[in-house]
Structure 1
Amino acid sequence: MNKVAASAHDAVSDIRDGASMAVGGFGLSGVPTVVIQALLERGVRDLHVVSNNCGAMDTGLAVLLAAGRIARVTGSYIGANKEFARRYLSGELEVELIPQGTLAERLRAGGAGIPAFYTPAGVGTQVAEGGLPWRYDGSGGIAVSSPAKEVRDFDGTPHVLEHGIRTDVALVRAARGDRHGNLVFSKSARNFNPLAAMAGRVTIAEVEELVEPGEIEPDAVHVPGIFVQRVVELTPGQAADKKIEKRTVTA
């Protein structure tokens, strides 16, 4: 039951080219930066990433993106990531943009063993009707576009069929974790992390504080260890290394 890996590099040692990967985090909050860096140093390529966004401020998934290691992104937000936008528009990267709540539910459904579900989100748009550009051809044209999805009425309201997401690997970051893989997330870092952890067939969790089994109250567990296969204990320096996206002040 001791799921603690010797190092981040050891935890990602069997991730292969072309692997699909669910990654937790939202902006800079709750991003598994240490494990992502280990994956970059390992040289894995052609990754299919499922994440809300693709890194920011040259951290998180942005380091894999800049190195050309990501082939496809399923996400909700490009934002201020200029390299993400450039690669998408130039045809270097395939991108499936979907509503944020739908992305969250697709990850949760996949982890819960639910193959598909209906939602009203996206009805009457290209999300349901198809035609969203997944990949550009580098000359302004569309090389690959999204297909149309099934739409059905429930109680007089149309709903679009969405499929649950399962990935080869999931990478998450938790505030606390024990050797059995039970995880607790802090505040806004409890964003996509629990959902990503559920969706991965092999889930790797980097934890800022490693404790012994029994030290986390059962009612406080956000992700049970059944969903987690490997735990990476961060050093105090790694745990404290948290960038701030935008500094603001109040009068």
Structure 2
Amino acid sequence: MDKVVSAPADAVADIPDAASLSVGGFGLSGVPNVLIAALHTQGATALSVVSNNCGVDGGGLGVLLAAGRIARVTGSYIGTNKEFARQYLGGELEVELVPQGTLAERLRAGGCGIPAFYTPAGVGTQVAEGGLPLRYGADGRVAVASPPKEVREFGGSAHVLEHGITTDFALVRAWKGDRHGNLVFRRAARNFNPLAAMAGRVTVAEVEHLVEPGDLDPDGVHVPGVFVQRVLPLTPTQAACKGMEKRTVRVEERG
């Protein structure tokens, strides 16, 4: 089955208002920027996003955030995104903060059909006991707080019940992909992309290099095509355009 779509607009055309999205990337590494830009143009709003973070100011998911298109974020940190912090603290955005490893496992579990699991991460904190601010009011007070979670003991240690995550759509970026949707990610850009891809009911992958079926080593495939419904091949210019969150240079040593 050929899953290739020819244009970014076609790849995201049916994403409706209030849809849930799992989005790959970590910082600005491995972020599906072309699909995010297409979704920004498409106009869907009130989106619920599951991603490690919500981009940076002016980059990644930060583009949708600044446009007021995102209503809820499930992620592991806010980072240096000032607009994210402003919307959260101002009561414009609902935010569920999740330990990073737990977020990864919740996405993987959802993709594997596992409804819930127990983990020691978060025991003895507000993650388990509840009270984390999900939404602030205009007066700066907590309007909605996270509820307590079930805790059970296994092998003499307490564990928190966490639920798997599935989303209506997933947007990911891969290094290579074939027409059947098999995906390969490269180095750090792999990050949350395979997990996000598995969690989406309709997964859209932008790929830097489109190859023909049979060209990928089966042992090297990170996400099988069964999880992917659409493949968007990038142009060389799009594939080369990658943001850098923080640029550092080596200080010249002088003798």
TM-score by length of 1: 0.99
Whichever residue aligns with residue 91 of structure 2, its letter is G
Structure 2 residue 145 is matched with structure 1 residue 128: no
Distance in 2 (CA, whole Å) between partners of 1:43 and 1:81 is 22
1:210 aligned residue: 210
Shift of 1:249: 2.4
Q: Contact conserved, 1:57 with 1:245, CA < 8 A, in 2?
A: no
1:34 aligned residue: 34
Structure 2 gaps, min length 5: none
1:42-92 Cα shifts (integer Å, max 9, x gaps):
110000000000011411100000000000000001010000000000000
2:175 aligned residue: 175
1:21 aligned residue: 21
Q: Contact conserved, 2:57 with 2:83, CA < 8 A, in 1?
A: no
1:156 aligned residue: 156
Q: Contact conserved, 2:137 with 2:143, CA < 8 A, in 1?
A: yes
Aligned residues: 251
Whichever residue aligns with residue 50 of structure 1, its letter is V
Distance in 1 (CA, whole Å) between partners of 2:51 and 2:203 is 14
SS of the equivalent of 1:243 reads: coil
SS of the equivalent of 1:105 reads: helix
Whichever residue aligns with residue 81 of structure 1, its letter is N
- CA RMSD in angstroms comes to 0.7
Shift of 1:102: 0.2
Q: Contact conserved, 2:204 with 2:230, CA < 8 A, in 1?
A: yes
Distance in 2 (CA, whole Å) between partners of 1:96 and 1:166 is 15
1:2 aligned residue: 2
Distance in 2 (CA, whole Å) between partners of 1:64 and 1:248 is 27
Whichever residue aligns with residue 9 of structure 1, its letter is A
% same residue: 74
1:234 aligned residue: 234
Structure 2 residue 192 is matched with structure 1 residue 196: no
Whichever residue aligns with residue 46 of structure 1, its letter is A
Whichever residue aligns with residue 178 of structure 2, its letter is D
Q: Which runs of 4+ in 1 moved over 6 A?
A: none
Structure 2 residue 48 is matched with structure 1 residue 44: no
TM-score by length of 2: 0.97
Structure 2 residue 48 is matched with structure 1 residue 61: no
Q: Contact conserved, 1:48 with 1:72, CA < 8 A, in 2?
A: yes
Structure 1 gaps, min length 5: none
Distance in 2 (CA, whole Å) between partners of 1:238 and 1:17 is 26
